[in-house]
Amino acid sequence: MLKFEVVRGPTLDGSVDLLAVATTGKPSAKDPILGPLGKTLGVDLGVLADEELFEGKAEQQLALSGRDRVPAKRILLLGLDTAAPGYLRVRMFAAAAVRHALGLNLRRVGLAFPDLAGLDTATWIEAAMVGARTGAYRFTRYLTGDRKPKAEVETVVLCTPPAGRLLPPPRLEELLARAAAVAGAIDLARDLVNEPPNVMTPRELARRAEDVAERGGLECEVWDRKRIVAEGMNLLAAVNAGSREEPRFIQLRYRPEKPSKRRVVLIGKGLTFDAGGLCLKPPKGMQDMKCDMSGGALVIGLMAAVAARKPKAEVIALVPSTENMPGGAAARPGDVVAAYGGKTVEIINTDAEGRLILADTLGYARKLEPTVILDHATLTGACMVALGPYAAGLFSNSDPETERLLRAASATGEQFWRLPLAEDLKDMLHSDVADVKNVGEQFGGAITAALFLRHFVDRTPWLHLDIAGPAYLEKATSYAPRGGTGFGIPTLLRFIEP
Ligand code: BES
Ligand code: MN
Ligand code: ZN
């Protein structure tokens, strides 16, 4: 487990293997960190930066040797881009520094910050800790021989800005605990997503949720296929029909010590592999479809953090889990199936399966009398077309709950963009044989998916978060590996906690 130390930085005298220095713009001799550092090294960092075309832009890196003049073996200048970086930039800086150290098998990393105007100490310390922990994340379970990693980063030394103040130890401990809960939840969610789909079946996802419940003292109930059918979750059963793996319906519950008026129900799409069903996906589209349980991973990870943080509100997590396979018993385009609660659905496209299992779950969620329902789902490629790979779409029937979420998101830097529940697209879901059909027309796919879900929500305030883009990275970046990202956890913990 990664250890943290906090000192008034930069630790030129403390020994670290790698000293990473955040720079907001081109290094100058006047900089309170880089000036003295350059002097000790006997290098004009401004001139060197010019030569190496390093301007301190976001994600730019300039690596130097410590030349035996400073205790650190290696020095890394990392661009933060702006003079007023937020939580996300600081988090990315810390993650990139730790990933750089991992690549060089270095064990002790120092992180030095300039004075960050506008960012309070508590925020950047949490962001740096979350960044460092998640930067150290690797999914190495199935690597053997020399593919196994040789060294882990063991210690991160946070060096506060030279003029900054140190926090009193109890406050620092509290921040460390909060950051550890966020980072632990992100690691857990990433693990669940990164496990291959032959391992991370619905049964295995349920087992991992049971582990989380046991460790955190949460209530947990898991339904098997028989119970799912008996309860009337016919859409979940229909999506599962083409698969040899049994479905699971997973429920986790956190009850606060003092009964609360606020009851938050979190739903996560738990499609452990989306082949498309009979409407089979082409190979390229199917390749990363183990990521289709990212919503489920998000809420299970979040429940681990909830168990650790013990918020005032009651929190319930619901994860419908199945594969979507094209077996002989699979649902056919044209099938009509009654959802939980009785509304009938014509299944036009078996690849629009996420909304089907969410429909049953939303119907069930209503019966729990929540004050707010959130669903998290890798629901539509259309949402990625609209917003790109790093932002989530947000749909809601409630302005106050939307504001609450966007406020939390502006603190963590995660991107959520509100999209409209456009009434003029409603008719696209009209079916001649059933109450509603499961797909609309070509355009507006993220919106018609949300409108479909709305059929199964009553007046309960509801947020639908389409995380198809940000849940999964197809290519590694300087700050995160390929695979599950744990997107949403920092924001949603803030949404639940205050
Ligand atoms: N799981 C997919 C959506 C998805 C696509 C997630 C890419 C992550 C990356 C979902 O079940 C799906 O197949 N959606 C279809 C809906 C269509 C058939 C209306 C899509 O987006 O193409
Ligand atoms: Mn699909
Ligand atoms: Zn899917």
Q: Which secondary structure element, helix H or strand E, spans residue 294, and what is its range?
A: helix 294-309
Whichever domain contains 83, its CATH number is 3.40.220.10
Residues 382 and 310 in one domain: yes
The verdict on 402 and 458 lying in the same domain is yes
Report if residue 249 sits inside a domain.
Answer: yes
- d(CA 480, CA 418) in angstroms, rounded, equals 26
Establish whether residue 381 lines the binding site of ligand 1, counting it when its CB lies within 6 angstroms of any ligand atom. Answer: yes
Phi-psi group of 492: left, alpha or beta (phi > 0 → left; psi -120 to 50 → alpha; rest → beta)? alpha
Q: Are 91 and 128 in contact (CB under 8 A)?
A: yes
Spatial distance between the Cα atoms of 137 and 188, rounded to a whole number of angstroms: 10
| Ligand 1 atom at minimum distance from 382 CA | 21
Contact status, residue 137 vs residue 99, Cβ threshold 8 Å: no
- Compute the radius of gyration of the chain from its Cα atoms: 24
Dihedral sign computed on CA atoms, order 176, 179, 185, 190: negative
204 within some domain:
yes
Q: Does 468 sit in the ligand 1 pocket, CB within 6 Å?
A: yes
Residue 274, ligand 1, Cβ within 6 A: yes
pLDDT in tens, 361-419: 999 999 999 999 999 999 999 999 999 999 999 999 999 999 999 999 999 999 999 99
pLDDT band at 170 (very low <50, low <70, confident <90, very high): confident
> What is the structure's pLDDT at 7?
82
**Minimum-distance ligand to the CA of 382?**
1
State whether 467 and 380 are in the same domain. Answer: yes
The sign of the CA dihedral 192, 198, 202, 204 is negative
Residues 106 and 7 in one domain: yes
Structure tokens at 331: 């649902």
Question: What number does the ligand 1 atom closest to the CA of 281 have?
Answer: 13
Question: For ligand 1, is residue 156 a contact (CB within 6 Å)?
Answer: no
DSSP reduced 3-state for 328: coil
Query: Do 240 and 277 meet the contact criterion of CB atoms below 8 Å apart?
Result: no
pLDDT at 264: 98
Per-residue pLDDT for 13 more than 70?
no
Helix, strand or coil, per DSSP, at residue 324: strand
Residues 283 and 367 in one domain: yes
If asked whether residues 301 and 409 sit together in one domain, one would say: yes
Q: What is the CATH number of the domain that holds 224?
A: 3.40.630.10
* pLDDT for the residue numbered 365: 98
Our answer on whether the CB atom of 380 is closer than 6 Å to any ligand 1 atom is: yes
Is 188 part of a structural domain of the chain? no
Task: Determine whether the shortest distance from the Cβ of 473 to ligand 1 is under 6 A.
Answer: no
Atom of ligand 1 nearest to the CA of 349: 18
The response to whether residue 86 sits with its C-beta less than 6 Å from ligand 1 reads no
Residue nearest to atom 8 of ligand 1 (CA): 468
What ligand has the least distance to the C-alpha of 347?
Answer: 1
Q: Which of 149, 166, 183 is the last residue of a domain?
A: 166
From 47-51, 349-353, 372-376, the region with the lowest mean pLDDT: 47-51
User: Which atom of ligand 1 is nearest the CA belonging to 439?
Assistant: 19
> From atom 14 of ligand 1, which residue's Cα is the shortest distance away?
380
- Asked whether residue 187 is assigned to any structural domain, the reply reads no
One domain for residues 202 and 320: yes
Q: Do 339 and 389 fall within a single domain?
A: yes
Same domain, yes or no: 146 and 295: no
Domain boundary (120, 147, 166) is at: 166
Q: Is the pLDDT of residue 122 over 90?
A: no
pLDDT at 68 over 70: yes
**Mean local confidence (pLDDT), 11-32:** 83
Question: What's the chain's average pLDDT?
Answer: 94
Residues 6 or more apart whose CB falls under 8 angstroms from that of 391 comprise 415, 416, 417, 469, 470
Residue 244 corresponds to which tokens in the numbers above?
């040899």
Tens of pLDDT, residues 431-467: 999 999 999 999 999 999 999 999 999 999 999 999 9
Higher-confidence position of 353 and 14: 353
Residue 71 has pLDDT above 90, yes or no: no
Q: 82 falls in which pLDDT band (50, 70, 90)?
A: confident
* Residue 172 belongs to a domain: no
Statement to judge: residues 127 and 204 lie in one domain = no
Considering the domain architecture, whether residues 16 and 155 belong to the same structural domain is answered as yes
- At residue 182, φ and ψ (nearest 5 deg) are -65, -50
- Which of 235, 321, 351 to probe ligand 1 with, by most ligand atoms within 8 A of CB? 351
Instruction: Give domain status of residue 186, yes or no.
Output: no
Report whether pLDDT(129) > 90. Answer: yes
| Catalytic residue list | 281, 355
Band (pLDDT 50/70/90 cuts) for residue 12 is low
Number of domains in the chain: 2
User: Which residues have their alpha-adjacent CB atom under 5 A from ion ligand 2?
Assistant: 274, 351
Span 263-276, mean pLDDT? 98
Is residue 171 included in any domain, yes or no?
A: no
What residues pair up with 424 in beta bridges, in sequence order?
A: none
Nearest ligand (C-alpha, residue 445): 1
Residue 371 domain-assigned (yes or no): yes
Q: What is the pLDDT of residues 275-319, one digit of tens each?
A: 999 999 999 999 999 999 999 999 999 999 999 999 999 999 999
Residues 366 and 463 in one domain: yes
Q: What is the DSSP letter of 167?
A: P
User: How many whole angstroms separate alpha carbon 491 and alpha carbon 105?
Assistant: 32
Identify the domain containing residue 95 by its residue range.
Answer: 3-166
CA of 351 to the centre of ligand 1 (A): 7
